[in-house]
Structure formats: structure tokens, C-alpha cells
């Protein structure tokens, strides 16, 4: 009898180890994942302006033509950089739950498509300083890494207090969707501007875009940068698409839970960067709040170790 109990314990330990190994290898989402939204073509960035947009003209665009303003922002970014480093401060409601505020050091490279139309080879590294998330197994996530084209486009998550410290998950799987409103590959400034430009431009073309210019304000969360502040009022609640290459949910339950009716954006007056966003429901409930500060645009690619697991671990300790 005692031997049978011992055998059962060994079997249980083996199966538990296999389950953890499956999770650690990123196969969890392949086995238990939920269906994903239909795939669509990513939005295309507008053709760069033939001539630079002056300061007065940019202000006029912010006041009267926010779609044209975002077009100018995208053009300006594409001319200056292919990536950036910054501090990202965010708080968001995911699957109906409002999570605590997070402070993240973020490095992004390869956001902008090449002139010949080759898709961007996006690399993202995120290091949490505050608001650490707990993963499915209760371990604390200190950093995450997304190198495009490597590891089947998975996210490597670093959890120093876990048995398996480096955990790979599908960047568009259920685990990722339950952790953030947006896919990690779309978390950079340029991709965020492209998302907003595409959404607002479609509403403009349909005659449904309603915006209000709120003037130039210093936004504390952006490092007291002077920003053009513009509010958009939606005709009806909308849900964001998780990734730029898929459709947004039209499920009434999802929209009622996670949808927004008001969007406020903050555009740096000098740098023409989208540094702040607030999403709210019609009743004022917060859906998401995002700010970038201490932004440094990157012209040359960061050191090779930046987007390696060793570099990720080292960065969490610095």
C-alpha cells in the first residue's frame, strides 16, 4: 500500500513537472488557447510629406485636422528614427479588470517599414520598475522580450522568483491578451500613432470623426512636455484591436466590458510624438491611460545584446 502511494506521488510530480515544462516552452497557449480574431492587412503609413510641416502649420492641423496632424507626426518620426527608449507609465482595464499602474522601461527598434515595403522587423524590450504583473502561476514578471522573427514571434518573459525563470508565450495568445490591451509588437510610439491615424482616418472618411481641440498643456506624466491635447468623442462605444493585423471585436459583451467612448491624445509640440492617451467609457470609467516620458529617439540600432535573454536579465538588475 505504501509503495502504491509512493508511486502515485512520483507520477504526480512527473506530470506536474511536465505541465510546468510545457508552460515554460510556450506550448501552453498552443494547447489551451482560445480562438483569435480574423487576420487583416496592417494599416499602411501615409506617404511622407513632400515638404516639412512648419510649427504654425502643425498647430493649425492640431486645431482643425487631427488626421493631418497624425500624418505629419508619422512622417516626422520616419525621417528621424527607427526606434526609441523611454519610460512608459500605464494603467489599463483588461478583460474587465482595472490593473494597478505600471512603470516600465521600454526599448523599441525597427518600428518603421523599409522604403521598399518590407514589413518592419520589430524588437521590443520591457523592464518593469513598478506595478509588476503576476503570471498564470503567480510568479512576478520583471521583464519581457519580443524579437521579431525569432522564437516563432513569441514573448520571452523573465520571472526571477519562478522555478522556470525564462518563459516563452505566444505574443498573440490568450496569456498575452489577458496581460495587456495591446500586442507587445505594437507597444511603441510609431505603431501607436499608426493605430490612431488609421482609426481616425477611417472615421473621417465615413464622416463620423468628432474631435475637440483642448489647447496646449503641460502634461506632468510626460515629463512636463508641452502637448497639443485633442479629445475624440465616439458615436458609439468601440473596442480596440489587440494587434494591428487583426480585426477589432464586434462582440457586444466585449465592447460593453472593454470598449471606450472617449479618447484624449497628447502630442508633443516640439517633437511631434504621441506621448499620452486616455481612454474612457461614456460614464467616465477609465479603460486605459498611457504616457511616455524621457523619450530618446534611436537612429542607430542598439547593441546586439539589448534584445537577448541575457541582456533582458541584466537590464532587470540594473
Spatial distance between the Cα atoms of 109 and 227, rounded to a whole number of angstroms: 24
* All residues at 6 or more sequence positions from 254 whose CB lies less than 8 Å from its CB, including other chains: 239
Is 116 contained in some domain?
yes
Is 85 contained in some domain?
yes
**Cα torsion angle, 157, 158, 161, 162, sign:** positive
Is 206 contained in some domain?
yes
pLDDT tens-place string over residues 5-46 = 343 443 333 334 434 443 444 444 444 455 677 888 888 888
Spatial distance between the Cα atoms of 246 and 241, rounded to a whole number of angstroms: 7
Range scoring the smallest mean pLDDT among 32-41, 180-189, 202-211, 217-226: 32-41
Q: How many structural domains comprise the chain?
A: 1
> Which domain does 267 fall in, by range?
2-34+44-317
Q: How many CA atoms lie within 13 A of 165 on its CB side?
A: 8
Instruction: Write down the pTM of the prediction.
Output: 0.88
Q: Which whole-number Å values give the CA distances from 207 to 127, 201, 237, in the listed order?
A: 41, 10, 17
Is 140 contained in some domain?
yes
Is 39 contained in some domain?
no
Task: For residue 195, give the CATH number of its domain.
Answer: 2.50.20.10
Is 139 contained in some domain?
yes
Q: How many CA atoms lie within 13 A of 89 on its CB side?
A: 13
* pLDDT score for 158: 96
For 243: left if phi > 0, alpha if psi spans -120 to 50, otherwise beta; the answer is beta
Spatial distance between the Cα atoms of 272 and 66, rounded to a whole number of angstroms: 12
Spatial distance between the Cα atoms of 291 and 284, rounded to a whole number of angstroms: 19
pLDDT tens-place string over residues 134-179 = 877 788 999 999 997 777 789 999 999 999 999 999 999 999 999 9
Burial group, residue 52, by CB count within 10 angstroms (0-12, 13-18, 19+):
exposed
CA 94 from centre of chain: 13
Spatial distance between the Cα atoms of 176 and 180, rounded to a whole number of angstroms: 7
* Residues 61 and 228 sit within 8 Å (Cβ to Cβ): no
The stretch 66-91 carries a mean pLDDT of: 96
The stretch 250-261 carries a mean pLDDT of: 93
- Mean pLDDT for the chain overall: 87
In which element (H, E) is residue 23 found?
Answer: helix 2-24
With vertex at residue 243, the alpha carbon angle to CA 241 and CA 244, rounded to the nearest 5 degrees, is: 90
Is 276 contained in some domain?
yes
pLDDT band for position 182 (50/70/90)? Answer: very high
Is 127 contained in some domain?
yes
Amino acid at each position: 500500500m505504501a509503495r502504491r502511494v509512493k508511486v502515485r506521488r512520483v507520477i504526480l510530480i512527473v506530470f506536474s513537472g511536465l505541465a510546468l515544462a510545457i508552460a515554460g516552452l510556450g506550448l501552453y497557449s498552443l494547447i489551451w488557447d482560445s480562438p483569435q480574431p480574423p487576420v487583416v492587412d496592417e494599416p499602411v503609413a501615409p506617404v511622407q510629406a513632400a515638404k516639412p510641416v512648419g510649427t504654425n502649420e502643425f498647430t493649425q492641423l492640431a486645431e482643425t485636422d487631427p488626421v493631418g496632424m497624425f500624418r505629419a507626426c508619422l512622417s516626422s518620426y520616419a525621417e528621424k528614427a527607427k526606434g526609441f527608449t523611454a519610460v512608459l507609465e500605464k494603467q489599463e482595464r483588461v478583460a474587465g479588470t482595472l490593473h494597478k499602474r505600471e512603470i516600465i522601461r521600454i526599448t523599441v527598434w525597427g518600428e518603421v517599414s523599409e522604403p521598399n515595403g518590407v514589413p518592419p522587423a520589430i524588437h521590443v524590450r520591457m523592464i518593469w520598475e513598478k506595478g509588476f504583473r503576476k503570471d498564470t502561476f503567480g510568479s512576478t514578471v520583471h521583464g519581457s522580450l519580443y524579437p521579431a522573427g525569432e522564437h516563432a514571434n513569441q514573448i520571452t518573459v523573465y520571472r526571477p522568483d519562478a522555478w522556470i525563470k525564462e518563459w516563452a508565450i505566444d505574443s498573440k495568445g490568450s496569456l498575452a491578451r489577458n496581460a495587456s490591451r495591446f500586442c507587445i509588437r505594437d507597444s511603441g510610439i510609431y505603431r501607436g500613432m499608426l493605430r490612431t491615424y488609421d482609426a481616425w482616418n477611417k472615421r473621417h472618411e465615413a464622416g463620423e470623426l468628432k474631435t475637440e481641440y483642448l489647447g496646449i498643456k503641460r502634461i506632468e506624466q510626460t515629463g512636463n512636455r508641452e502637448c497639443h491635447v485633442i479629445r475624440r468623442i465616439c458615436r458609439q462605444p468601440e473596442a480596440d484591436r489587440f494587434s494591428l493585423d487583426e480585426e477589432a471585436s464586434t462582440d457586444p459583451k466585449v465592447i460593453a466590458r472593454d470598449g471606450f467612448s472617449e479618447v484624449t491624445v497628447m502630442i508633443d509640440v516640439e517633437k511631434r510624438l504621441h506621448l499620452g492617451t486616455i481612454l474612457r467609457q461614456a460614464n467616465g470609467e477609465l479603460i486605459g491611460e498611457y504616457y511616455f516620458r524621457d523619450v530618446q529617439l534611436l537612429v542607430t540600432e542598439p547593441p546586439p545584446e539589448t534584445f537577448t535573454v541575457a541582456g533582458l536579465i541584466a537590464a532587470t538588475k540594473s
